[in-house]
Amino acid sequence: MRIVIIGGGFAGINLANNLAKDNNFKVTLVDKNNYNFFPPLIYQVATAYLEPSSISYPFRKLFRKKGNIQFRMGEFLSVSPSENKVILHNGELEYDKLVFATGAETNYFGMENVKNNAIPMKTLNDAIEMRNKLLQRMEKAAICKNSKERRKYLTIVVAGGGPTGVEVSGMFAEMRNGILRKEYPELSTTVSNIYLVDGGPSLLGPMSEKSQKDTYDALTKLGVIVKLNTRVTDYVDDVVHFSNGETITTKNLIWAAGVYSRVFEGIPQESYGRGRRMIVNEHNKLQGMDNIYAIGDTCIMHTDPNFPEGHPQLAQTAIQQGEQLAKNFKRMIKGEALKPFSYNDKGSMAIIGKNKAVVDIPKPKLHFKGFIAWLMWLFIHLMSLIGYRNRIATAWNWMIAYFSQDQSLRMIIRPNKKKGAIN
């Protein structure tokens, strides 16, 4: 059976790995990048606490000892279901089963000015670009003589009160209160505010009320100004506009406010549901298709009785759907009945800062905060990285940062886009 997987995130990687070394399957994984990366830690790359290589791993190295899996670097363009063929920017592939595992992309809710001027937090490229921009703006602030203009470089607005927004706000606050005051003495008397803005009534909406309150209290103690029930409506000329009529002047709007899925040529419009997610049945088969499937953030399933409105767009959902679909493909080969997907909620967590985190575990119903939750967050994320080298490098960087309250990765490295480009 020829299986083509579009996307090498949590869902695609787990599907491919669970079909590895089974000669009943010839698997081709397609991705526009030549590496897998770990999204929950991209904010640490963006804030210069980790190198990009610490949270990424090359596909070809990952699959080199798995003879039935091939990697194809390419940009997906369209699918022709009648021909069982996908069209990439650099060729075509035929399939018996096609699986979309493309994740989600940043949703700007139709605000073009925000899209053009805000700093997104979704991909590794976004994280590197954010690190460079913020470091450059710190340098500009250091030589700026106009106090009002200097504050624009130093003020940060983070839109989105989910885990990414909370974690990056906490990291910025700790950097402002520690590293930056030591390394930029010329800015020590300048007011620099960090705002975390969310349209809902609480931070970390899907988590427990205890986690929401603990997170709010910890962030405000760090000096983060939290604005709830407040949405960004525009971002023009370095001014962020909000739904309540307020404005904040800043050059740094970090966008972590929402995601939606991609729409693909060749997939009928009626196959998409809320958030442009592909509608799938209990076996992750795409609605109206015979041999096309979708897993992870890019799909929505209404057949799980515990999640009738669809599963949360989390890493665990993607991992479990990838593993379950692999098992069902093996059942197809054996002529056995397929098993429906049922999500096992293992809990949620978010880190706020040094020795500060929140963890919710649904079964049994437990809540952790503070140092214990922080250790749990570190362990889970460390073990989720691919490869021992990445785990060791990340653990080493974390240990150095913890004991020294510093790290040495704040280099501005910007490749020359005009030279050496590969067409």
Model confidence band, residue 421 (pLDDT cutoffs 50, 70, 90)? very low
Q: What does the radius of gyration of the chain's CA atoms come to, in whole angstroms?
A: 22
Encoding tokens for residue 147? 């106090």
Same domain for 156 and 216?
Answer: yes
Q: Does residue 131 share a domain with residue 77?
A: no
Flag whether 146 is in a domain.
yes
Q: Which residue among the candidates 167, 186, 209, 270 is catalytic per the annotation?
A: 167
Give the end of a domain, one of 257, 278, 296.
257
In a domain, 375, yes or no: no
Phi-psi region of 164 (alpha: psi -120 to 50; beta: other; left: phi over 0): alpha
| CATH number of the domain within which 44 lies | 3.50.50.60
**What's residue 406's pLDDT?**
63
For 5-56, write each residue's pLDDT tens digit: 999 999 999 999 999 999 999 999 999 999 999 999 998 888 888 888 899 9
For the cut 60, the answer to whether the pLDDT of residue 423 exceeds it is: no
The whole-number pLDDT of residue 48 equals 83
Same domain, 120 and 234: yes
What pLDDT, on a 0 to 100 scale, did the predictor assign at position 387? 85
Percent of the chain with pLDDT over 70: 96
Encode pLDDT of 332-379 as tens digits.
Answer: 999 999 999 999 999 999 999 889 999 999 988 899 999 999 999 999
Report if residue 422 sits inside a domain.
no
270 is catalytic: no
Q: 220 or 398, which is more confident?
A: 220
Q: Are residues 240 and 116 in the same domain?
A: yes
pLDDT band of residue 206 (cuts 50, 70, 90) is confident
Q: Are both 151 and 246 inside the same structural domain? A: yes
Reduce the DSSP state of residue 76 to 3 states and report it: strand
Same domain, 36 and 146: no
Q: Does a structural domain hold residue 400?
A: no
Return the structure tokens found at 89.
């920017």
Question: Domain of 239?
Answer: 112-257
Q: What CATH number is associated with residue 243?
A: 3.50.50.100
Residue 249, pLDDT above cutoff 80: yes
**Contact predicate 317/296, CB 8 Å:** yes
Least confident range from 31-40, 255-264, 390-399: namely 390-399
Report how many domains make up the chain.
2
Task: Determine how many CB atoms are found less than 10 A away from the CB of residue 289.
Answer: 17
Instruction: Tell whether 322 is covered by a domain.
Output: yes
> In this structure, are 50 and 144 located in the same domain?
no
| Same-domain pairing of 36 and 137 | no
pLDDT tens digits for range 280-325: 999 999 988 999 999 999 999 999 999 999 999 989 999 999 999 9
The answer to whether residue 342 sits within a structural domain is no
Q: CA–CA separation, 397 vs 388, rounded Å?
A: 14
* pLDDT attached to residue 422: 41
In a domain, 399, yes or no: no
Q: What is the pLDDT of residue 84?
A: 97
Q: Where are the alpha helices (DSSP H) in 192-273?
A: 209-222
pLDDT at residue 408, rounded to an integer: 61
What confidence tier does 416 reach under pLDDT thresholds 50, 70, 90?
low
pLDDT exceeds cutoff 50 at 190? yes
Long-range contacts, 139-142 (Cβ 8 Å, 24+)? 139/412, 141/184, 141/187, 141/190, 142/184, 142/186, 142/187
Higher pLDDT pick, 353 / 327:
327
- Tell whether 95 and 214 lie within a shared domain: no
Same domain, 161 and 298: no
CB 401 within 8 A of CB 55: no
Question: What contacts 379, CB < 8 A, 6 or more positions away?
Answer: none
Mean predicted confidence (pLDDT) in 147-167:
93
| Interval 112-135: pLDDT, tens | 999 999 999 889 999 999 988 988
407 found inside a domain: no
pLDDT band (50, 70, 90) for residue 175: confident
